[in-house]
Each structure stands twice: as structure tokens, then as C-alpha cells.
Amino acid sequence: MAKKILIIAGDYVEDYELMVPYQAMLSIGLEVDVMAPSRNKGDIIPTAIHDFVGDQTYTELRGHNFEINVDYNKVDPEAYDALYLPGGRAPEYIRLNQRVIEITRHFFDKNKPVLAVCHGIQILTTAGVLKGRSLTAYMAVGPDIELAGGTWENVSVDEAVVDGNLVTSPAWPGHPAMLNEFYKLLGITISHG
């Protein structure tokens, strides 16, 4: 049976970091629900384009709209096999929502696979689930990982770090690597004919 994935998004989530893993997971037959605090099925959230053009940080432009496909107050984490936390500017504020933190902790309590990229890791630092864990994130989030008791791995933006149930990557260039590791954790095998 197809595994069921929960994604936690919010206004100004990074455009690629929401849509690429969402559609990539759907394309191999996973079921994927995307929630955002106070947003219901059919609600539209704006996304942000974060690009790396040689400045000390990324640029930001307005991205596509994204249609949420599950009511936020109907999400039962028990119903999902794994969690994905995209980045952008959403995580810094949606981590203030207690339900987001509770849902996130469920996946660590049950040792279910968790995938997170870029600023998505800000939800993990706030959830208090990083003690003793090795992971990566956008470089600016590194100090928060250390404050939360974890170790920030300084890897290339197209790499992924795996530590038990947790797969992380610094930014959207890491999608292929992190998704590949995530699929392995989910027990999915892909055979090329």
C-alpha cells in the first residue's frame, strides 16, 4: 500500500522546496497531504523564490500560489508514515503554532522518517528533537541547531545528511539527494529496466 506523507507549509514557503518534493513524491505513487496552520483544503498560500546569486544571502521574489489539500484541524499525525518540512520564510513563524510542534514531535516519538530542508529545520530546533543528532540546514540556521543540542554538518548544497530517521539538506539544490535517501527510508525500491 502506498505510504502517506505529511508536509507542513505556510505563507512564503520556498516555491521549489514545496512543489518539487510534493510532485516528485506523487509521481512515484506516494500519497501526500499538505497542511498549513489556519488554512483549509482549497485555500491558497503564496510562495517565495529563494535564489543564490552570490550575495551573502539569497534573493527573494514572489513565487507561484500553492493550493493546500487538507484542513489544518483535521490532521492526525498517526495517519501518516513520514513528515516533510520545506523551507523559505514559513518555518520561522509556523513553528510558533503549538500544533505544528506537537505534530512534528509525533514523528520523532514514533521514529518515523522525517525529511527537512533549509529553514524547515527551524521547526526541528523549536520542537526540541535535535539533541545529539547530526544534520544540515541552510548555513544561517547552523547556530540554532547547535543551541538545540545538535551538530550542524557543513555539506555542499546538493548533498543530504542521514541520521537515523532524519534526512536533511541545506537548500533546494539538494532535493534529488535528499529525496533518494528519503525513499530508501520508506522502503521504496526503484528498478531501471
Q: Which residues are catalytic?
A: 119
Residues near a second copy (CB under 8 A) are 1-3, 15-16, 19-20, 23-24, 26-30, 49, 51, 53, 61-65, 175-176, 179-180, 183, 186-193
Min separation Cβ 146 and a second copy, Å? 29
Q: Which long-range contacts does 60-65 make (Cβ < 8 Å, 24+ apart)?
A: 60/89, 63/14, 63/15, 64/15, 64/19
Minimum CB separation from a second copy for residue 52, in Å? 8
Task: CB nearer to a second copy: give 24 or 155.
Answer: 24
Cα–Cα distance for residue pair 19/145, rounded to 1 Å: 25
Nearer to a second copy, 99 or 159 (CB): 159
Q: 151 vs 186, which CB is nearer to a second copy? A: 186
Least CB distance to a second copy at residue 179 (A): 4
Asked if residues 52 and 171 have their Cβ atoms less than 8 Å apart, the reply is yes
Nearer to a second copy, 2 or 140 (CB): 2
Considering the complex, what minimum distance in angstroms separates the CB of residue 83 from a second copy? 18
Cβ-based burial of 17 (10 A; exposed 0-12, middle 13-18, buried ≥19)? buried
Instruction: State the cell numbers at 130.
Output: 535535535
* Main-chain phi, psi angles of 19, to 5 degrees: -70, -40
CA dist 118 and 74 (Å) reads: 27
